[in-house]
Amino acid sequence: MRKLSDLLHAVNYKRIIGDDNREVNELVFDSRKANSKSMFFAIVGANHDGHDFISKVVKNGCTVVVVNKELGVSDGLTQIIVEDTHQALSLIACNFFGNPSKKLRLIGVTGTNGKTTTATLLYKLFTDIGNQVGLISTVVNKIGALEILATHTTPNPIALNELLAEMVSKGCSYCFMEVSSHAIHQNRILGLQFFGGVFTNITHDHLDYHETFAEYIRVKKMFFDGLPESAFALSNQDDKNGAVMLQNTKATKHFFALKSMAEFKGKIIQNDFDGLLLTLNNVEVLTQLIGEFNASNLLAVYAVARLSGIDELVALTSISSLRSVEGRFQYLRSTSGITAVIDYAHTPDALENVLDTIQSLRKPQAKIISIVGCGGDRDRTKRPKMAKIAVAKSDHVILTSDNPRTEDPLSILDEMRAGLNDIEGVLALTIPDRKQAIQTAIVIAKPHDIILIAGKGHEKYQEINGVKYDFDDFNTANELFNQMKK
């Protein structure tokens, strides 16, 4: 139980109507979960307004509500009136769970591409050298070795603070967390105290939500603007917006780069399917990851380790043993010598990066066969661009379904094909069935050819009309490769 007065610490509320001496046992913003011990937050969302459900939560026995407008007289109901219920939810959630972010070193990773890989590699490195570590990512949440299913890149404030509190109780000294632009904009991370922040890059994505690229940049920058003086802010100098991100931060600024001068400097010496040989601040290290984008991710990991006080030799030794993250340039080979690369690339820039990496790795006679789709109910402007990139950088292209969600898969494919001229259109097959598309690529592939299966990466499902069907790109490719042996 928490006293109402304790929960309102640092919350800028307008007034309280009713009994201000209540005790609260849980926080909820779903009216169906409200009861006599709940504090209910009337969240205004894209489709629903929580204020419309006040009568329902009161009927369920709830006596404390957080609202952005006075509801009128209601006997026995305590109304906490605030300017923004999203902000209040985040701050109160921090207080309810004892401000767990202040009891460990919380490091946030934001950017368009590389968030999952960077956060996960940091989790692995810090675990390998003997720390109890937490991870909050798109793929999975972890408390030490315990895995917890991830439903969002950044959880809602209640789930987020509960997760952090559990990490503290289990002795975690670090937590590495992906910070999405949605989470920043919706104040899900408000009230958290970060030990450090990392910017990977920013490219075309989420314009269905942010509407303009300038707004997307502004929202990402808000994360660094909010870092305290005690934190570090680490940014990618190679990204043209890398310096912009740190313009107004109070945190100590640091930069990493592969292509320009920076405090943390990397250089690729060799890059093939056997791994990356690179230098990190002039020290040579052989890693098991592949591609220039992973060199950048590893450089960020190295920089965070050093900024956290990890000995250089210890950090480099651990980096040399790190393996690729599931669904991020994950590859397998058939007995006939065909390579399939599974990658989460679902933005134009990410697709271009992964295809450039494959171009640099392929043998002279090898062909690149790309399987590409775009998700439904998401940014439509990137669809023609992704088809254009796939055709420009591949020998064969198969356009297929990703997660169509509530959209017609054929309409999505039509919008992708709209980015191709007549000649390019001839070079791209359209096969809506994803398994059939993968099977077709394998049939036309010859030894040494490389098949890119892009867009879904780690996902174990395909979402069609609100239903999630079992589907795993890696397992599907592996099964089809095995069928070739028979």
3-state SS string for 58-75:
HHCCCCEEEECCCCCCCC
Nearest of 269, 322, 313 to residue 292 by alpha carbon: 269
pLDDT of residue 143: 98
pTM value is 0.84
Q: Name residue 24's beta-bridge partners.
A: 2
Helix 473-485 to helix 434-444 angle (10° resolution) is 40
pLDDT for the residue 365: 93
Give me the pLDDT at residue 138, please. Answer: 87
pLDDT for the residue numbered 151 = 75
Q: What is the pLDDT at residue 194? A: 98
CATH superfamily of 100-321: Mur-like, catalytic domain (3.40.1190.10)
What is the C-alpha to C-alpha distance for residues 414 and 395, in angstroms, rounded to an integer?
21
Quote the Cα angle for 427-431-433, to 5°. 160
The domain defined by 2-96 carries CATH number 2.30.30.830: no
Do the first three CATH levels of 2-96 and 100-321 match, i.e. the same topology? Answer: no
Radius of gyration (C-alpha) of the chain in whole angstroms: 24
Using CA atoms, how far residue 283 sits from 267, 286, 308, 322, in Å, is 10, 10, 19, 17
């599907």: which residue's tokens? 476
The residue ranges of every structural domain in the chain are: 2-96, 100-321, 330-485
Q: In this structure, how many other beta carbons lie within 10 angstroms of the beta carbon of residue 326?
A: 16
Give the per-residue pLDDT at 214: 87
* Closest by CA position to 399, among listed 454, 475, 446: 454
Q: Which two tokens stand for residue 295?
A: 């060199």
CA distances (Å), origin 193, targets 93, 94, 197, 302? 13, 10, 11, 22
**What gap in Å lies between CA 243 and CA 257, rounded to an integer?**
12
Show the tokens assigned to 253. 């600024």
Which residue's structure tokens are 């056997």? 274
b/e map 123-160, b = 16+ CB within 10 Å: bbbbbeeebbbbbbbbbbbbbeeeebebeebbbbbbbb
Res 8: pLDDT: 96
The helix (run of H) or strand (run of E) holding residue 468 is strand 467-470
E strand or H helix at 105, and its extent? Answer: strand 105-110
Q: Which of 371, 364, 422, 381 is nearest to 401 (CA)?
A: 371
Instruction: For 153-176, give the DSSP string.
Output: SS--HHHHHHHHHHHHHTT-SEEE
Element (H, E) at 242: helix 242-245
List all residues 6 or more positions away from 470 whose beta carbon is below 8 Å from its beta carbon.
460, 461
CA dihedral 180, 222, 118, 363 (to 10 degrees): 90
Check if the beta carbon of residue 350 is closer than 8 Å to that of residue 201: no
Q: Which residues of the chain have pLDDT under 50?
A: 210
Nearest one of 147, 267, 411, 352 to 277, comparing CA atoms = 267
To 5 degrees, how large is the angle CA 206–CA 210–CA 216? 80
CATH number of 330-485: 3.90.190.20
Enclosing H/E stretch for 277: strand 275-280
